[in-house]
């Protein structure tokens, strides 16, 4: 078999090949590791891959593999903010450099019991603060479709890895679009589950009321398989929902005729790229051809989503990141002379030297909006507008089963383009943020290309715990189109299906 | 460029205010970085001012989207991470303590 032939397969293709005994897990892993060794120095999707540690999982597995778990022998790439026992987990931040997690996240535990092989550590924006992966303390990830462009973020490493066949499928995290926007920029599928669907235990916290772990995959089927494995109630996360998880894969081909797609007006939002508009219009026509009906809907507060988000998310982040003080774990600065007490000075130096520019910006913004005298005007008002945004979605989902909108207003932008203008960077999240504020599930899937050949993603949203609808609509759309089978030129011979 | 409906007001964030907030957050900022952050934070805060125009007098705040409250578990002791595993993560430790600079003068 040609080099990269296995790395380019989907999860479900590999599962079938492994089951039939056509290939063995060792072949898959070696093909993938060879491709990573070859391509990662230029793409930087991974911060590091410890080949010896990865191979050791395979040896431990063959000793115990008598039963037939759903992901047996399948490598799954993991973003650098999800704890894997014994592995370095840094959130792409200097302040956690050298930190080896003492326990497994629940999602990791579930992948392990499903037989998966874990491949850490996919690059990301530091602490998931960003939309381009340029805020990583350890290097910029490149978009495999156009190396001078960003892969999106914050799960940019996971997205590039999946798109360039340096991963079979991956886990990311999404606080304001960090799975969906990079999935759109890299031409793959990315899904943010309902808040509470996947346990956050072991996901290093950014904004606890918004964070969710979710899959990035080569197609909808793979995303459905992965979510079925990682979802479900977990007593170790008190915000985990005690709601039954269906077998999403089995429901994929259920009928979609007659489902209603809500098309929001998106008033007050300018700057949507004409290629993105065109791709969305074309996608609507395809969905109508499949028997879905469109209905106009209103999401009157969506234009306030970015402002609301950057109050709530930074407030939560400033409080979550207070724990990094150089005392109990992580990195500690060398103490020096100071006017402050030696302990205060240790905190100041460790945090000042350990956090990057965007982390500092968000900590300061969050500290400001929570401080005395500003709390009511910013944080409290933000939480009230959040209620209005959530109500917009409640009303929308009374009139339709799914909502369709762009994932991002533009295709991937150039490296450096928005780095000095944080507000422009934040505004690139305008379409993804409201799903986190409302807690609803949302999925991005490939729906076309710009005139420059850059992937475009469309976003499908559903009511809480109706991920099944997203997968069904996405699967039906995939059967009628071939966007998800396109691969960047640098990619190995693509042979999905 | 992406633009949204945006209320504007005069500059509120001065370098002195940023310094004060930075100390609360245990961060130190100086020179160019401080001036640049003041300008950027001012721009962001002016942008989020648009929320003031949304009527919310009778709206309850949402801190959390799930209808879950007071999630409790039985108050029973369970195994935790072993002390030596946790201490091994500390930058400086002397079992069973982590070591920090002196806080109380003799």
> Looking at residue A439, which CATH number applies to its domain?
3.90.1300.10
Pairwise CA distance, residues A405 & A283, whole Å: 10
Does pLDDT of A372 surpass 70? yes
Q: A446: which residues sit within 8 A by CB, 6+ positions away?
A: A184, A187, A188, A189, A455, A456, A457, A483, A484, A486
Residue B3: pLDDT band (50, 70, 90) is very low
* Cα separations in angstroms, B95 against A10, A99, A324, A335, B82: 49, 19, 21, 22, 12
Across chain A, what does the average pLDDT equal? 94
* A360: contact with B, CB 8 A cutoff: yes
**Which band of pLDDT confidence, cut at 50, 70 and 90, is reported for residue A340?**
confident
Confidence of residue A425 (pLDDT cuts 50, 70, 90): confident
Query: In the prediction, which pLDDT does A62 show?
Result: 63
Phi then psi dihedrals of residue A469, to 5 deg:
-65, -40
Residue tagged active-site, from A178, A228, A434, A450: A178
Closest CA to A358 of B49, B33, B43, B19: B33
Distances (CA, A) of B45 to A192, A310, A436, B7: 28, 9, 21, 10
Q: What ipTM is given for this predicted complex?
A: 0.90
**Token couple for A186:** 């890299």
- Is the pLDDT at B51 greater than 80? The verdict is yes
* A218 is an active site residue: no
Nearest Cβ partner for A352 among B27, B63, B66? B27
Q: What is the pLDDT of residue A485?
A: 93
> Nearest-CA residue of chain B relative to A370?
B21
pLDDT, one tens digit per residue, over A94-144 is 999 999 999 999 999 999 999 999 999 999 999 999 999 999 999 999 999
Would the pLDDT of A468 be above 50?
yes
Confidence of residue A65 (pLDDT cuts 50, 70, 90): low
Any residues with CB less than 8 A from the CB of A188 and at least 6 apart, and which?
A159, A162, A163, A216, A217, A218, A446, A484
Q: What is the pLDDT of residue A308?
A: 97
Q: Does A224 touch chain B (CB under 8 A)?
A: no
Confidence tier at B19 by pLDDT (50, 70, 90): very high
Instruction: Give mean pLDDT, residues A370-399.
Output: 95
Averaged pLDDT score across all residues of chain B: 87
- Give the percent of chain A with pLDDT over 90: 89
Task: Indicate the pLDDT class of residue A4, thresholds 50, 70 and 90.
Answer: confident
- A331: which 2 tokens? 């990195």
**Rounded distance, CA A202 to CA B55, Å?**
38
The answer to whether B71 contacts A238, with C-beta atoms less than 8 Å apart, is yes
pLDDT of residue B11: 64
Note the Cα A21 to chain centre separation in Å: 32
Give the per-residue pLDDT at B69: 84
pLDDT greater than 50 at residue A386:
yes
Q: Is the pLDDT of residue A160 over 70?
A: yes
- Contact predicate A93/A359, CB 8 Å: yes
* B53 in contact with A, Cβ within 8 Å: no
Q: What is the pTM of this model?
A: 0.95
List the domain range (segments joined by +) for residue A16. Answer: 11-262+398-485
- CA angle A346/A350/A351 to nearest 5° reads 120
A235 domain residue, yes or no: yes
Nearest to A343 among B48, B50, B100 (CB): B100
Strand partners, A264: A297
Ranking A189-193, A267-271, A305-309 by mean pLDDT, the lowest is A267-271
Q: Report the Cα A139 to chain-centroid distance in Å.
A: 19
The dihedral over CA atoms of B79, B81, B85, B86, expressed in degrees to the nearest 10, equals -140
Assign A490 a pLDDT band (cuts: 50, 70, 90).
low
Find the residue in A nearest to B45 (Cα). Answer: A365
- pLDDT exceeds cutoff 70 at A389: yes
Task: Identify whether A145 is part of a domain.
Answer: yes
CA–CA separation, A406 and B67 (whole Å): 29
- pLDDT value of position B6: 38
**CB proximity B54 to A under 8 Å:** yes
With a cut of 60, say whether residue B1 has pLDDT above it.
Answer: no
Distance (Å) from the alpha carbon of B9 to chain A's nearest alpha carbon: 14
Query: CB–CB of A99 and B89 under 8 A?
Result: yes
Q: Is A178 one of the annotated active-site residues of the chain?
A: yes
Residue B106 banded pLDDT, cuts 50, 70, 90: low
B59 burial (CB, 10 Å; 0-12 / 13-18 / 19+) is: middle
Task: Write the burial class of residue A34 (CB in 10 Å: 0-12 exposed, 13-18 middle, 19+ buried).
Answer: middle
Q: Report the greatest alpha carbon distance in chain B.
A: 60
Q: Is A352 at the interface with chain B, CB within 8 A? A: yes
B32: enclosing H helix or E strand: helix B31-48
pLDDT, residue A67, reads 63
**pLDDT, position A401:** 98
Query: Does any domain span residue A234?
Result: yes
pLDDT at A447 over 90: yes
Q: Helix or strand or coil: residue B4?
A: strand
Q: Where are the domains of chain B?
A: 1-59
Distance from CA of B79 to the nearest CA of A (A): 13
Dihedral sign, Cα of residue A434, residue A438, residue A442, residue A447: negative
- CB pairs under 8 A, 24+ apart, for A279-282? A279/A447, A279/A448, A279/A449, A279/A456, A279/A458, A280/A404, A280/A405, A280/A406, A280/A447, A280/A458, A282/A447, A282/A448
Chain B residues within an 8 Å CB radius of A325: 26
CB B100 within 8 A of CB A345: no
Report the sign of the C-alpha dihedral through residues B14, B16, B19, B23, in that order. negative
Quote the tokens at residue A424: 């422009």
Q: Chain A closest CA to B33's CA: distance in Å? A: 9
Q: Which of A8, A9, A79, A132 is catalytic?
A: A79
What is the domain count for chain A?
Answer: 1
Cα separation, A166 vs A69, in Å, equals 23
Of A496, A382, A463, the residue nearest A193 (C-alpha):
A463
């Amino acid at each position: 078999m040609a080099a990269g032939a296995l790395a380019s397969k989907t999860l479900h293709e590999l599962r079938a090949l492994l089951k039939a005994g056509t290939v063995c897990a060792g072949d898959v892993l070696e093909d993938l590791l060879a491709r990573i060794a070859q391509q990662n120095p230029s793409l930087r999707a991974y911060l590091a891959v410890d080949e010896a540690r990865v191979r050791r999982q395979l040896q431990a597995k063959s000793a115990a593999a008598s039963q037939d778990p759903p992901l047996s022998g399948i490598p799954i790439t993991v973003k650098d903010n999800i704890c894997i026992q014994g592995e370095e987990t840094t959130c792409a931040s200097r302040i956690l450099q050298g930190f080896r997690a003492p326990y497994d996240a629940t999602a990791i535990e579930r992948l392990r019991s499903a037989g998966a092989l874990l491949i850490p550590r996919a690059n990301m924006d530091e602490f998931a603060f960003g939309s381009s992966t340029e805020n990583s303390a350890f290097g910029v990830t490149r978009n495999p479709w156009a190396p001078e462009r960003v892969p999106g973020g914050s799960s940019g490493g996971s997205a590039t890895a999946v798109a360039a066949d340096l991963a079979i499928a991956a886990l990311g995290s999404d606080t304001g679009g960090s799975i969906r926007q990079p999935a759109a920029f890299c031409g793959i599928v990315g899904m943010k589950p309902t808040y509470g669907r996947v346990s956050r235990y072991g996901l290093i916290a950014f904004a606890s009321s918004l964070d969710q772990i979710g899959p990035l995959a080569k197609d909808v089927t793979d995303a459905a398989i992965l979510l079925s494995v990682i979802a479900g109630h977990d007593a170790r996360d008190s915000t985990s929902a005690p709601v039954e998880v269906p077998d999403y894969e089995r429901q994929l081909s259920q009928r979609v005729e007659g489902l209603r797609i809500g098309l929001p007006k998106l008033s007050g939002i300018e700057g949507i790229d004409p290629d993105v508009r065109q791709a969305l219009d074309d996608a609507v026509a395809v969905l109508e051809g499949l028997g879905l009906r469109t209905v106009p809907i209103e999401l009157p507060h969506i234009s306030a989503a970015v402002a609301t988000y950057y109050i709530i998310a930074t407030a939560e982040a400033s409080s979550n990141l207070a724990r990094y003080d150089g005392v109990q774990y992580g990195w500690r600065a060398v103490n020096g002379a100071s006017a402050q007490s030696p302990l205060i000075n240790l905190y100041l130096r460790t945090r000042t030297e350990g956090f990057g520019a965007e982390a500092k910006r968000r900590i300061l913004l969050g500290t400001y909006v929570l401080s005395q005298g500003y709390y009511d005007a910013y944080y409290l008002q933000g939480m009230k507008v959040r209620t209005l945004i959530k109500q917009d979605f409640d009303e929308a989902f009374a009139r339709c089963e799914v909502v369709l909108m762009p994932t991002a207003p533009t295709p991937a932008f150039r490296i450096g383009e928005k780095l000095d203008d944080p507000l422009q960077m934040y505004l690139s999240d305008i379409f993804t943020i409201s799903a986190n504020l409302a807690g609803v599930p949302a999925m991005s899937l490939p729906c076309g290309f710009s005139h420059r050949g850059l992937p475009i993603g469309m976003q499908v949203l559903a009511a809480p715990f109706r991920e099944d609808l997203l997968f069904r609509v996405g699967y039906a759309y995939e059967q009628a189109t071939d966007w998800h089978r396109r691969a960047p030129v640098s990619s190995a011979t693509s042979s999905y299906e | 460029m992406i633009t949204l409906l945006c209320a504007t007001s005069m500059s509120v964030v001065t370098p002195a205010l940023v310094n004060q907030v930075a100390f609360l957050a245990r961060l130190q900022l100086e020179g160019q970085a401080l001036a640049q952050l003041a300008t950027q934070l001012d721009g962001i805060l002016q942008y989020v001012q648009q929320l003031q125009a949304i009527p919310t007098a009778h709206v309850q705040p949402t801190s959390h989207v799930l209808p879950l409250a007071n999630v409790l578990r039985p108050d029973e002791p369970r195994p935790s991470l072993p002390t030596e595993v946790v201490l091994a993560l500390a930058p400086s430790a002397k079992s069973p303590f982590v070591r920090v600079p002196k806080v109380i003068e003799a």
